Amino acid sequence: MQASIMQPCSVQLVRRPASRRQRRARTLKVLAAVLLALLFVFVAPRAVEMMSHTGAPATVTYTVAYGDTLWEIAARHSGDADIRQVVSAIKRANNLQTATVHPGQELVLPTIK
- CATH number for region 59-110: 3.10.350.10
Phi-psi label, residue 33: left if phi above 0, alpha if psi -120 to 50, beta otherwise = alpha
pLDDT over 60 at 54, yes or no = no
Residue 80: what residue type?
A: D
pLDDT at position 79 is: 82
Q: Are strands 106-110 and 59-63 parallel, antiparallel or unpaired?
A: antiparallel
pLDDT digits (tens, 9 = 90+) for 1-52: 566 676 767 777 777 777 888 888 899 999 999 888 887 777 777 766 666 6
Contacts of 72 (CB under 8 A, 6+ apart): none
Domain boundaries of the chain, sorted by first residue: 17-55, 59-110
pLDDT over 70 at 56, yes or no = no
pLDDT digits (tens, 9 = 90+) for 68-103: 999 999 998 888 888 999 999 999 999 999 989 999
pLDDT at position 2 is: 65
Inter-residue contact 112 to 85 (CB < 8 Å): yes
Rg of the Cα atoms in the chain: 36
Inter-residue contact 77 to 111 (CB < 8 Å): no
pLDDT at position 1 is: 57
pLDDT at position 19 is: 84
